[in-house]
Amino acid sequence: MNPWHFVIAAYAFALGSTGLLLILSWRAMRRAEAQDEAVKRR
């Protein structure tokens, strides 16, 4: 049983999940703030 397979799987899952939530939250924030600005300017 090669331990590196387990190490890589654990790091990929941890970093992938954090990165995904980071990107989704960033996009949601940018979209909401742009929408707020658009409503303000209207």
Give min distance, CB of 41 to another protein, in A.
10
Give min distance, CB of 23 to another protein, in A.
10
What x/- string results for residues 1 through 40 when contact with another protein is judged by CB under 8 A?
A: x-xx-xx-xxx-xxx-xx--xx--xx-xx-xxx-xx--xx
Give min distance, CB of 12 to another protein, in A.
10
Alpha-carbon span 16 to 3, nearest angstrom: 20
DSSP conformational letter for 1:
-
Length of the chain: 42
